[in-house]
Copies of this chain bind each other. A is one copy, B any other.
C-alpha cells in the first residue's frame, strides 16, 4: 500500500508541475523524488506519469490519483486535528461560571485534586453555560440557580452576599444595612468582569454613573486611593481581606444575594467524585 509520504509528494508534484520545484519544497533532491514517484507507480502497478526525456506530465490515471490523494491526506489531517482536540479535552477541565467569585475556590481546588489536568475557566451568560455543559464545552458550570435537567447532576455550592464598600466619610457609612436605591445616582467604581452582577447593578441602580474598570489591579488601587463607593461581597472579602480605609455595609435587597449551584453531566459525576465531595464539604 502506498504511504502517506508518497501521496504528499505526489500532490507536491501536481502543485508545481515538475519534479525539481517539488523536490525543492519537499527538501529532497530531485533524483530522490523521481525514484519515489517511480516506487509509487510500481507499488500501484500503474503509470501515473507520461514521461518524455526531460519532461514529466500526469497521465489520466495520475490526475485521478491526485484527486484521491487529496482526499486521503485531507482525511488524515482531519484525523490528526480531531484527535488533538479530543486529547486536549481529555486533559483539561473547563469550568464556566455566571460570576468570577465561585471560580476563586473551585479552580485551585480542581488543580490540587487533579494535578495532571489543565484547568480552564471563564464567566459567561447563563444560557451559554447550559448549552456549553450539554455540548461538553464545559465539564462544570456554576449558575445562580439549580439546574434540573435530565442527565445533569447539580449540587448547591456556596452563597455570595453583595455589600457596599464605602469610604469612612461617606454619609451612609454608619448604616447597618442599605438598599441599592440608597446609593442610586451616586458615582461608583465598578469592576467590569463580574458576570451576572453587572446586569443587576444596572437594573437596581439605573441612575448611578459607574466608572468601569477592566483591570483587577487598577480597580483595587482606585478603591484604596479614592473616596468613591464600590461593591464587594463576602467572597471578595474572604479572598482579598477587608481593606483598611473602607466601611463594609451589607446590601439588604433580595437581589444582592446569590446561591451558587455547581453542575456536571451525570456521566462525569463518578470521574470527579473527589471534587463533588469537596463541593458538598
Most central of A60, A65, A72, A76 by chain B CB within 10 Å = A76
A270 to chain B, nearest CB (A): 15
Most central of A3, A46, A83 by chain B CB within 10 Å = A83
Q: How far is the CA of A84 from the CA of B41 in the complex (A)?
A: 12
Find chain B residues with CB under 8 A from A216 CB. Answer: none
**Which partner residue on chain B sits nearest A77 by CB separation?**
B1
A268 to chain B, nearest CB (A): 13
User: Contacts A4-B1, A8-B1: A64 and B83 contacting too (C-beta < 8 A)?
Assistant: yes
Q: How far is the CA of A201 from the CA of B181 in the complex (A)?
A: 106
Q: Mark A49-83, 1 if CB is under 8 A from B, else 0.
A: 00000000001110011001101100110111011
Q: How far is the CA of A60 from the CA of B60 in the complex (A)?
A: 42
Q: How would you classify the secondary structure of chain A's contact residues: helix, strand, loop or mixed?
A: helix
- Chain A interface residue number, banded: 20 to 34
A36 to chain B, nearest CB (A): 14
Given contacts A1-B4, A68-B83, 9 further A-B contacts (CB under 8 A): A3-B4, A44-B83, A46-B84, A46-B87, A68-B78, A68-B79, A72-B75, A72-B79, A75-B75
Find chain B residues with CB under 8 A from A68 CB. Answer: 78-79, 82-83
**Which partner residue on chain B sits nearest A67 by CB separation?**
B79
User: Which chain A residues numbered 19 to 66 have a C-beta less than 8 Å away from chain B?
Assistant: 44-46, 59-61, 64-65
Q: How far is the CA of A46 from the CA of B88 in the complex (A)?
A: 9
Find chain B residues with CB under 8 A from A75 CB. Answer: 71-72, 75
Q: How far is the CA of A183 from the CA of B72 in the complex (A)?
A: 65
